[in-house]
Structure 1
């Protein structure tokens, strides 16, 4: 034990001496360890490391996660194209591959890179591109589990479906700012392996969305404005996040009404608050609701959620309505009276927000926990003095 400690001390002493002399100790490490260190850094820092020395110049090409951004300048892009060709020729596997390019980039190069990457057993693929993908581009990702497609244009409605079908073990798909340049009436997403689907800010105003994913557990739809929605296998859906203000919002809520956990953003809540004679669907399986913003349509929502157990307000209870007009005592939503067990709310509430919370506490007969953030305008004693009908409720501060 003594000899081991002495050896460690001598090694540390030598390292300190080298540092005092300005010797580059890190560059003396083996390539495998340097690559491991680089893999822990952000992509921008990894790129900067190329200027440290000739030895560092090519290390980034062997990282498990490869992040390539092709510049808009044609001259710089052509130079980088050659480097990427050389890198991909050396690689056998990737864990994650990110490629970002634009209209000015050579489409043939991009297509060739995609074909090469498909042979590298990549598990996660992110493609940010304005390059048009045409039907003749055949891509197969036998090991891909996560795919993120951004800013892409499809010239054929079947191309997206074909691409997904070529990912037999895909578990997660994100479509962000996508466009169809053809006249199509339907966007169909079908997969036997997928569990998570996100579609954001994509131009599908005239299309019907059809989701046929038997194992789908998580669905996030933001500003997509589809003409209509069809969920073929809704029973597996566990969580839905909806951010939409279109005329089809009610139809969209019916589309996800079987979910167990739901998040509604301020955009959706404002839209619901502005609908007259609203006919909301029932949410028979919902146990947790997260409200991000507007509380005006809250009671209408709660009346259609008979089994709700957890209510969360991570951004407070903001509203354009200046006054809270609670319903009659005997009209409190059944889920509040008989099912609600937990409330989470952020700090620094306004008087109106406290009035809403006070109403919930007054009628939540079996509430078990109220979790609040640190509120500098409302001390702990005032929280404990709030009237709560449930005698078993405890207050936790985070």
Structure 2
């Protein structure tokens, strides 16, 4: 039998280092024991993925020595992708090494900073905020930047000419204009994600105002901190958006005192809302083509409609909404503001024995000319209220093509087949309308 050949080791070094770049750095280091060929191969990998928690000792010098060896092996080589998770406890000297890494011209940088400081005298831990090195804000190579639990001081001057994507998770700013400076200094920035840690001990007055100003921004995402909701007034914040080129916006945090859109977002295609808002915000998003709204946002809309007119959403063709049953009487009025709506996805939380004022009677303009598809989602039961909503669309939508019923597996006294048989008996205003299951 001929001897086995190590085909992997025969591959070109450029290909081997490319393969290793997909591994965490501690795993690529482990390949150095395979053979002489592999001994220093990990040092040539154009990527660094370092999790300080994976080191066997917590002494600072272990991590620092490892980084120094890597950075000094070939100081002129370029690190294309860098990911550093610093662990929970401060590592002295790590900030300087991150500064050196930035000098190596990475395109992707992902840093999760430490959150605690060990007092050498008392041997107790205290909250700690590590600020990023200043050369970060003048990187000429970064395309993607993610910072987690880091501090950002006033950089003075920001120029990141290639940065297209920025994610800031639980980042704290030295003052209330630093975020604006940071975003404005990225002339080709297209995607921005902001996740505030509203429970942090570092939340203060400077965290009560955020302004996003960008002429290039296309996507803005401000979700809740890991899906949590908070009623603490200390987390309240005013958000101002001055980004006329926005195409996609997700706003999920409910701790904004106010949200202001300075210019009408004429390019906005899709918006996903789980927030309260004001007049200036509604006008700013009125050109949107696809809108997703939560129950929270819907309740705010209904309250707003009692004192002011809701603007027309003339470009809106697709709407996804969650309606509590006690607000169903608001549905026709809201749809009247969507004269060109084509596709409606509706999830209703039904309330039994709904009052007479919840009856659906008015017929919005879109029912007569544009509404083609309606989906009723997550139907648990089938009683008079569910039938009333289905009948409302079938009897009034003149150009409706499909009414889709999405029935859950929740136990019901009536079978799915009986439900569809009952719905098909309704007189349809649109003779071509089909009743479809979503199974």
TM-score (norm 2): 0.68
CA distance in 2, matches of 1:141, 1:185: 26
CA distance in 2, matches of 1:194, 1:173: 7
CA distance in 2, matches of 1:51, 1:184: 41
Whether 2:407 is the aligned partner of 1:378: answer no
Whether 2:170 is the aligned partner of 1:157: answer no
| Counterparts in 2 of 1:249 and 1:323: CA distance versus 1, 3 Å | farther
Whether 2:282 is the aligned partner of 1:253: answer yes
Unpaired runs of at least 5, structure 1: 1-12
Match of 2:400 among 348, 358, 367: 367
Residue matched to 2:240: 210
CA distance in 1, matches of 2:390, 2:20: 49
Name the count of aligned residue pairs.
365
Residue matched to 2:192: 173
| Counterparts in 2 of 1:33 and 1:348: CA distance versus 1, 3 Å | farther
Match of 1:92 among 85, 93, 105: 105
| Counterparts in 2 of 1:93 and 1:79: CA distance versus 1, 3 Å | closer
Residue matched to 2:253: 223
SS of residue in 2 equivalent to 1:302 = helix
Report how far residue 104 of structure 1 moved.
3.6
CA distance in 1, matches of 2:378, 2:18: 41
Unpaired runs of at least 5, structure 2: 33-37, 49-77, 118-127, 226-232, 410-414
Report how far residue 232 of structure 1 moved.
2.5
Match of 1:264 among 293, 301, 308: 293
Moved more, 148-157 or 322-331: 322-331
CA distance in 2, matches of 1:220, 1:323: 33
CA distance in 2, matches of 1:321, 1:48: 59
Counterparts of residues 72-83 of structure 1 (less than 5 Å) = 72-74=88-90, 77-78=91-92
TM-score (norm 1): 0.74
Counterparts of residues 1-398 of structure 1 (less than 5 Å) = 18=4, 26=8, 29-37=11-19, 46=24, 49-50=27-28, 52-54=30-32, 55=38, 57-58=42-43, 59=45, 60-61=47-48, 64-74=80-90, 77-78=91-92, 88=102, 91-94=104-107, 96-104=108-116, 110-111=132-133, 114-115=136-137, 118-119=139-140, 121-129=141-149, 131-136=150-155, 138-177=157-196, 181-182=204-205, 187-201=210-224, 208-234=238-264, 235-244=266-275, 246=276, 248=277, 252-272=281-301, 277=306, 279-285=308-314, 286-292=316-322, 294=324, 296=327, 297-313=330-346, 316-320=347-351, 323=354, 331-346=362-377, 348-351=379-382, 352-373=385-406, 377-379=415-417, 382=420, 385=424, 387=426, 388-395=428-435, 397=438
Report how far residue 238 of structure 1 moved.
2.5
RMSD (CA atoms) = 4.0
The answer (yes or no) to whether the contact 2:269–2:288 under 8 Å persists in 1 is yes
Deviations 1:100-142 (A, max 9, x none): 11344797773157258x23x221211112x432214644211
CA distance in 1, matches of 2:235, 2:88: 30
SS of residue in 2 equivalent to 1:332 = coil
CA distance in 2, matches of 1:359, 1:80: 64
The answer (yes or no) to whether the contact 1:361–1:389 under 8 Å persists in 2 is yes
Deviations 1:174-225 (A, max 9, x none): 1110677446885332211111222234889665433222212222222254
| Counterparts in 2 of 1:357 and 1:330: CA distance versus 1, 3 Å | closer
